Amino acid sequence: MTAGFIRRPAARGKVIAAARSWLGTPYHDQQSVRGVGCDCLGLARGVWREVVGPEPFPIPPYSRDSGETGPREVLAEGARGCMIEVEAGDPPPGALLMFRMRERAIAKHVGILTDTGTMIHARERLGVIEEPFTQAWRRRLAFAFLYPQPRRR
């Protein structure tokens, strides 16, 4: 076990409610302040803080290039250290979804699946929105993870 959380899934409803509380937050690159500004990773980080507790490690600066290629799936590697990986082909509600926005690119976009067939994510011109988890999004899905439970004190 790692300090601060237990590798058992957090309550899905709590994850989804936390994500919905960010709806309408404006887009702001590399930020994570509900109601003020965030990008897609900032949304995921904010949900972590609300559901699990303090972030497990600092996030280094990252590029916005959705076509970036490389030998490492940096987002997925980071998530594997503190989240619970699940089958991307059939992710459950409350899962953090990771997408490849271009063929052969590394996963660079994230969103949270709801219990109504939608996902919550931050888009550059729209901010944090909830939209249908369509076939187009499903084709881009590369990884899925569950938030862990916070450690009881």
pLDDT tens across 20-64, in order?
999 999 999 999 999 999 999 999 999 999 999 999 998 888 888
pTM greater than the 0.85 cutoff: yes
* Crossing angle for the helix pair 12-20 and 40-51, to the nearest 10 degrees: 130
Which of 9-13, 61-65, 80-84, 120-124 shows the lowest mean pLDDT across its residues?
Answer: 61-65
What is the bridge-based pairing of β-strands 127-132 and 141-146?
A: unpaired
Residue 145: CB atoms within 10 Å: 24
As a CATH number, domain 5-150 is 3.90.1720.10
